[in-house]
Amino acid sequence: GINNATYKYHIDFAAANGLEFVILDEGWYKPLSPMEYVPEIDIAELCSYAAQKNIRLILWIGADLLIKDAEAICEKYSSLGVAGLKVDFFDHQDQRTVRQVYEIADIAQRYHLLVDLHGIYKPTGITRTYPNILNMEGVFGLETSKWTSADKCDMPLYDVTIPYIRMACGPMDYTPGAMRNAALRDFKAIYHRPMSQGTRAHQIAMYVVYDAPLSMLCDSPSDYMDDPQTTEFIASIPSVFESTEIVGGEVGKYIITKRKAAGVYYFGGMTNWDERDVEIDLSFLPEGQWEASIYRDGINADTAATDHIIETVDITGKTVLPVHMAPGGGFAIIIDRKY
């Protein structure tokens, strides 16, 4: 439920896994009144509890309500220690909406609040002026799997199309990380217990492939606690990189992305419903011994989409890594210097 006990549970999970933020989603404030909490929630208490664990809170809020009283709302929650706002239901991108976005961005930055824009609003270069805007939705994100059947939307196809199109204009809050994964024949749109189309490795690859300076873990803590190795792998991937290069792919078929941060290299690969074999050429690596942590589809991932393998192998610049992607599959690789 939406109450302090639940969010403390989320805060404990975030702290245990080295995550930075917890989002309080819809339902924490009274109807039409973001300045007042529902009786089960105390933002001041939650902020204090989170601060003890080096976690900060982000508050979901409807755009229309925020714009009516943005100054007071930002002042109040900034003073309590809230990190930022997830502002939802921007249902247009007309002149009025653009003015509202700039107004919200300006007020929020004066109170040192980050902003995650949701709804259909897409990047327009605003982050250059207001770098406190870390991410935007404007994408047919993973949450649509809760109510959209596979015959109406082919998500693996979409997943390997948007990096070439939507992501070209800026970051996108796709909200990846589904832990209930389904092959095409098994997928069903279930609102209260959603699943993803494609494999678990496909989901993990998104943390490398998709540009998202503020990146979500979309499922519940208990789902991640059931697979601590996967959770550790996700948490070890940064959300900001120094360089990005697309080293293989074709629009609507597959993509392989190479990124770098703090001397560590990251690869992410995803395919549509076609299984695919690829090779990762590591000749770019400087001399020395390196170690690759590989998250890939398991041998049965074509039928049991949760099946995955996590392995660590020694490599050098002379190594070529072969990787098989199951239908709707993918992989992620973290390469760090061994010595």
For the annotated catalytic residues, the residue numbers are 88, 143
Cβ-proximal residues to 154 (8 Å cutoff; 6+ apart), any chain: 197, 272, 273
Angle between helices 228-235 and 200-209 (to 10 degrees): 10
Residues 137 and 171: their CA atoms lie apart, in Å, by: 8
Q: How many CB atoms lie within 10 A of CB 184?
A: 16
**Structure letter (DSSP) for residue 120:** S
Nearest to 177 by CA among 231, 217, 143, 136: 217
Two tokens, residue 199: 């494999």
Residues 274 and 136: their CA atoms lie apart, in Å, by: 30
Please count the residues of the chain.
339
3-state secondary structure 217-249: CCCCHHHHHCCHHHHHHHHCCCCCCCEEEEEEE
Contact 139, 172 (CB under 8 A): yes
Residues 254 and 16: their CA atoms lie apart, in Å, by: 34
What is residue 12's three-state secondary structure? Answer: helix
CA 147, chain centre distance (Å) = 19
